[in-house]
Structure 1
């Protein structure tokens, strides 16, 4: 028996399989815990905030996502792509990260200047007082900056597949948020308190992640101008699409906030809390699959095999998620509260669109993690054309209609990114990357 175990342990295929089993088990277990805690926190917010306050909370969190995308502009993707080439060199990886942080600081300031006035207008449009609007903005800023830093700090540990420490930190952050919410929202059921409670624990998390990152990347390195040039090249290709996704990615909330009622905003926000499984697998995908695919040798056959296996896995996963929502739609809506129990069809349609969007976005990041970026003129033209075509044939005056629009545009995005990924793999022998 010992001889058999010894042979298995020394077998490269077995060792590789066992390595991935451990990674998926650690990350999966931690993320189930994180998402479960996050779901409880979300339900607390939905149930305890009045409808008016939850609508403001939804708008603020939507804008936080927009601000984060604008401030990143493709920087983290460029750092991941460049870091995947030098991940074993601590000094070079430190230079790449230092360059990414320098660029991100500049982008963050521009993002704040653009997004905050829009947020204040939307909040005031939905009857928030000027005092409340300012408090919400001030509460949002810490969450914004800590989120940006955390994304870059995680790159070095992810490239080295050191996921266990990161998952422990994420569990700690989730628990801290739940405790802060529980202590504050029962007494002060207002938007800015809920936002502040969610953002503050990330400050502690970033300090811990920085220590882990310093093991693999020399944090004392200065910026590298050549790295900056390569990262900015990625940014130039990705930023136009990032700006587009700031609008299209949150199209549901924008359309409802402009043309719908405050109650409609609250409903869209409440349903948007439900795709917990997608968040779980998004984290798993970003932590395990993207770094692995980024480091895959540039051999056409190998890259194509890995790409097709990943895509097949995403499709199977998506079918399982949608099937689960169809079976348990009643209990899921009951958890949200009595004001949302009549949204069964909206829930199912929303989940179908969210799942297709998840697969399309994953396909997009599979390309960008290897430095493959579709011409933004092509991608944005196709995306805008999809929205125009969708709006012309779908009634977007209702929440259900907006969810159908999301399905339509997500299918177009999926086809586009799949086609581009296959194209780049087919031409990989001529690719300098």
Structure 2
């Protein structure tokens, strides 16, 4: 034992063991609560209401992406350079928050009319549509700052405080959903039950972040210029991918049935099982990738290790879920029975998208951005060709289409990451 403790790598291994254990345990609780909350809503909401809930949540994600368009990646990249200085990190954070609020206004202008139309198109009345749109506001308000605020404790690896706050928010969502949706099984109530705890958790998150970042700092014009350089380059592709990223939902909502919309939303909830590893990656690996020196051999080694780890994990989890497909569908309820093959397609699509996301996170935190015209042309080619190959008016066809498009984007991100690493001269 003494020999083991005296080994130069002992303290490092001990640190990583404790960090991963605490993070994994906390994320198991967070994701477990999120999964239970999702299943609860699936079971409590009528099929028609869950279809509207799926549509509203998808649009909320689109609104959040349009209010970001590269700001969070820019803050991570800039913050990774000055994370040891409270004042400089505060300036980066305040600049990012200021820019995010401006982008949020335009996000609302663009997405609100689209959501209203799609709700009406899928059978919601005018009053119901209005209430659903209003119910999104609390969650959208919290989203304007929470993922930027999380960057600060992530860079400082203050994982405990961050995850404690996440657990509190998850418990709040589960309790409110169980009480309110049981009494009032309506879409806007379910969305409010998720949004209100998120607003309260956002208040606590600010206190955590401001322990490491000086909140009195004013937005800095130089930092803003650097962030805007990223935003301008990312904006076209971000706007495009805001809608193309959930194209299966849009196709089903426009050309499919209400039942198919509810089914694709319910199957998507199973992917919450995968979020544990995604959260671990976001907490432990992405910030460290951002802090790595710009040296070819180090980046290549870490990148390949990360890709291999993600691939092995997701492949194993996908195989496990496919073997337990009937039992998993039983959890969703009788309304979603008989969708074993569709469940497997949904999980495969998520795995491929997750692998693409890992590569994107890697190169975006390095400040590397694929030219938006290239990204849009590649994806648009995949989408257009996929429309002719797969029947997008039914659930099975849309899920196959989703795998096809995600595979092409995954290949593009993998190749771009390797090309950028190889181009480093050091």
**TM range, normalised to the smaller chain?**
over 0.9
**CA shift digits 1:317-353 (9 cap, x unpaired):** 1211211111110100011111111111000011111
Q: How high is the TM-score relative to the length of structure 1?
A: 0.96
Deviation for aligned residue 1:171: 0.8
In the alignment, does 2:316 pair up with 1:320? Answer: yes
Q: 1 CA distance for matches of 2:411 and 2:230?
A: 22
Q: 2 CA distance for matches of 1:239 and 1:20?
A: 37
Q: 2 CA distance for matches of 1:245 and 1:224?
A: 29
Check whether the contact 1:252–1:403 (CA below 8 A) recurs between aligned residues: yes
Cα distance change, pair 22–148 in 1 and its aligned pair in 2 (3 A): farther
Unaligned stretches of 5+ residues in structure 1:
none
Q: 1 CA distance for matches of 2:284 and 2:241?
A: 24
- Structure 1 runs (4+) deviating above 3 angstroms are 3-6
* Partner residue, 2:332: 336
**CA shift digits 1:242-284 (9 cap, x unpaired):** 1121112111110000001111111111111111222222211
Q: 1 CA distance for matches of 2:144 and 2:309?
A: 29
* Partner residue, 1:182: 178
**CA shift digits 1:106-151 (9 cap, x unpaired):** 0001001110111111111112111111111111011011022110
Deviation for aligned residue 1:290: 0.5
Deviation for aligned residue 1:19: 2.1
* Partner residue, 2:246: 250
Check whether the contact 2:146–2:205 (CA below 8 A) recurs between aligned residues: yes
* Partner residue, 1:161: 157
In the alignment, does 2:203 pair up with 1:207? Answer: yes
Check whether the contact 2:77–2:290 (CA below 8 A) recurs between aligned residues: yes
* Partner residue, 2:117: 121
Cα distance change, pair 6–285 in 1 and its aligned pair in 2 (3 A): closer
Q: 2 CA distance for matches of 1:235 and 1:329?
A: 41
In the alignment, does 2:23 pair up with 1:24? Answer: no
Q: 1 CA distance for matches of 2:94 and 2:10?
A: 37
* Partner residue, 1:15: 11
Match of 1:396 among 392, 398, 416: 392
* Matched residue SS, 2:84: coil
Q: How high is the TM-score relative to the length of structure 2?
A: 0.98
Q: 2 CA distance for matches of 1:14 and 1:209?
A: 33
Deviation for aligned residue 1:18: 2.1
Task: Within 5 Å, give how 1:7-156 maps onto structure 2.
Answer: 7-8=6-7, 11=8, 13-156=9-152
**How many matched pairs?**
426
Q: 1 CA distance for matches of 2:70 and 2:18?
A: 30
Unaligned stretches of 5+ residues in structure 2:
none
Check whether the contact 1:278–1:358 (CA below 8 A) recurs between aligned residues: no
Task: Within 5 Å, give how 1:214-229 maps onto structure 2.
Answer: 214-229=210-225
* Partner residue, 2:425: 429
**RMSD, aligned CA:** 1.2
